[in-house]
A = this chain, B = another copy of it.
Amino acid sequence: MNRIKSPTMKDVAREAGVSLGTVSNVFNGVSVSPAYKERVEEAAKKLGYTINRYARGLKTSETHVIAFVCPGTDHPFFGDLTNYINKALADRGYRMLLAVTQFIPDMEQRCIRLVSENKVDGIIALTYNPELQLEESIPFVSIDRQCSPTAPCVSSDNYSGGQLAAQKLYELGSRQLLFLSIAPKISGEPDKRRYGFESWCRASHVPFESVVIPDTDGFRPFLNILKARIRDGKPDFDGIFCNTDKLAYVILRMLKELGVSVPGQVQIIGYDGINMFGDPAMPCVSSICQPVREMAETAVSTLLSRGRPSMPTLICLPVTYRAGGTTRDREELAYIYER
């Protein structure tokens, strides 16, 4: 690690023949006479000077760095979210310190500690550790789970999403609904997908059933469940709401293998609004789409405007329905070739 020492303000000051304070003023937009300003800028360019934000942060205690603590960027939803949050931050002159936790509760705690040491100006986190200790001194915004009564939480409107899924399935002709889900590690906002779904069904007198499988068991249980409900190629259900798009894909494949046609016999709606390859033009399952972009924007702006009088503690953003290949409201394929 042999680093060439980079020039400092002092060097620039010497080169330009001005005082240290003047150089600082130039770089902070404080009024400086044009002659001096030019001299300083020239000297800075000549020396290849870049400001040392560590030193600045030490004085101002504003680092303009925000930490994002997330389970992993390999899942497309998190990848998307990371991307949008990064963009929202960059637009506001902030940089992102990324900490990946891989769903390990202990790691989540460690990450919070670590980024705190970096004196970030704030933390946005998507975590599953119910006992997470926050640093009181650092503004915090959570996603998809309320971590603390004082920390705002941003999520999609999971409840309405569940309702919307049920409603859409019904509108598109399904009369016997099924809710399938992998139970999240810990209760959080996404649980409401189910509550919304069930409440709509009950209110509308549409028969339904719910199946929740712990996330340790993998997908196989679903295959057995489906098998048991199919007699002579005829399933006793005709509409499924899966609590994630991933599960929707898996169920789609299973039904195909079991000889059930989708969306002909059974329609499927997922949740998330994942785009394959991050490209909205790619084929997809029908889905309740989380407003990822808006969630990112909201998380960031909420975090940065911390301290406002009445900060809501839970912010649910509206979801939308997207027709994909697993419901009967979409002609497949044509759309791929656009763009």
User: Which residues in A have some Cβ–Cβ distance to B below 8 Å?
Assistant: 1-6, 48, 50-55, 57-58, 61-63, 65, 68, 72-76, 78-80, 82-83, 86-87, 90, 95-100, 102, 113-119, 121, 135-139, 218-220, 223, 245-246, 249-250, 253-254, 256-257, 274, 276-279, 282-283, 304, 306-307, 333, 336-339
Contact = CB atoms under 8 A, between A and B. Distances in A.
B63 A73 contact: no
Contacts of A4: 136-137
A328 to B, nearest CB: 19
A102 B88 CA distance: 13
Contacts of A116: 50
A307 B304 CA distance: 40
A71 to B, nearest CB: 10
A80 to B, nearest CB: 5
Contact of A61 (B3, B117, B337): B3
B52 A117 contact: yes
A246 B277 contact: yes
Contact of A79 (B76, B137, B138, B337): B76
A322 B137 CA distance: 49
Contact of A253 (B219, B283, B338): B283
